[in-house]
Amino acid sequence: MKELVIVSGKGGTGKTSISAALAYLAPRKVLVDCDVDAANFHLISGAVVSKTHSFTAGFEPVVDEKVCTQCGTCSELCRFKAIDNGVITAPLNCEGCGVCALNCPKRAINMKEKEAGQWYVSKTRFGKLIHAELGLAIENSGKLVSKVRQEAKQLAETKKLPLVIIDGPPGIGCPAIAAMSGASLALAVVEPSLSGLHDLQRLWELTRHFQLPLAVCINKATINTTNTHTIIAWCNKNEIPIVGKIPYNDVFRTALQKGKTVMEISENEVQEKILELWYNLSKLLNIAPTASIIDRLFDKVNSIKK
């Protein structure tokens, strides 16, 4: 089983649109949305939730009002001002450190696991999707990313599916590390800008640290050809394969408005480039692309020769 994780240095590069297009093309797979802080893959894939599970992370204090004498010890010790004389007055300020429970002279405060969000198993028109929603003001998103990814791997193994496609979170923080570490291949979706090159360099350093193979897809490649060539030159210098160059096209916006992928919109120039992208990724992952994709690419090559 192979894991392909699609990442980006920031939001808005087209990562989820590319992920959805690849989900449309890949034959047998499990899908994962690891952007738990702002999950949206379910919107484009027509997901219908079939199972809902609670996610717990961290701790929160519970006060036994019958035992509490309102002595004020907890108020004095809580540096976040979340509790006042045994009353949780600002729950969003609580860090779950447990200092109030540890020092309560009457043992009136206990720490319990906090419900930090939910994760779901959904049916989509592309196959099963594992996704999640982090609770308000919860900081354990890396742990939730690991959870949904683990569940997707178990589902793929049970169903004997050869591929897991992960729509990863943007950036290089804890959620991105949880989504990428141990994967088979990371695909960085970048824009042709100087900041895009900088983001790519940071992703490259991260994947090198975890010894994870990296490939690059330049999205909106025609919007600034100078920067596109700069990114290509940098990738060639560092022996990073460029597996796709997607032209700028308004079809992405049209597809999103219709809740579809660009592969489900009427014939457009982007489709052939996405086909080439999937074909190149298939070779890197050692997964056979579908016969229809090979036929379409073969026909394109013949038409160019003529």
At residue 12, the pLDDT reads: 87
The overall average pLDDT reported for the chain is: 90
Q: Tens digits of per-residue pLDDT, 137-193? A: 676 688 899 999 999 999 999 999 999 999 999 999 999 999 998 999 999 999 999
At residue 292, the pLDDT reads: 57
At residue 269, the pLDDT reads: 82
Mean pLDDT value of segment 245-270: 88
Is residue 2 predicted with pLDDT exceeding 70? yes
At residue 212, the pLDDT reads: 95
Give the pLDDT band of residue 291 (cuts 50, 70, 90).
low
Give the pLDDT band of residue 301 (cuts 50, 70, 90).
very low
Mean pLDDT value of segment 198-211: 95
Question: Tokens for 95?
Answer: 């860090």
CA distances 74 to 60, 62, 106, 176, 251, Å, are 14, 12, 11, 36, 57
At residue 67, the pLDDT reads: 94
Contact 17, 191 (CB under 8 A): no
Is residue 124 predicted with pLDDT exceeding 70? yes
Is residue 306 predicted with pLDDT exceeding 60? no
Is residue 287 predicted with pLDDT exceeding 80? yes
Buried b (16+ CB within 10 A) or exposed e, 154-170: ebbeeeebbbbbbbbbb
Contacts of 70 (CB under 8 A, 6+ apart): 85, 86
Give the pLDDT band of residue 217 (cuts 50, 70, 90).
very high
Is residue 97 predicted with pLDDT exceeding 80? yes
Give the pLDDT band of residue 293 (cuts 50, 70, 90).
low
Mean pLDDT value of segment 197-215: 95
Question: Tokens for 33?
Answer: 């949305």
Q: What is the 3-state secondary structure (H, E, C) of 73-127?
A: HHHHHCCCCCEECCEECCHHHCCCCCHHHHHCCCCCEEEEEEEEEEEEEEEECCE
Question: Tokens for 289?
Answer: 């692309």
Bridge partners of 113? 59
Helix residue ranges, H only, the chain: 15-25, 41-44, 73-77, 99-103, 141-159, 174-180, 194-209, 225-237, 251-257, 269-285, 291-305
Give the pLDDT band of residue 299 (cuts 50, 70, 90).
low
d(CA 2, CA 40): 23
Q: Give the other-Cβ count within 10 Å of 61's Cβ.
A: 25
At residue 44, the pLDDT reads: 87
Is residue 302 predicted with pLDDT exceeding 70? no
Pairing verdict, β 2-8 and 29-33: unpaired
Q: Phi and psi (nearest 5°) for 216?
A: -125, 135
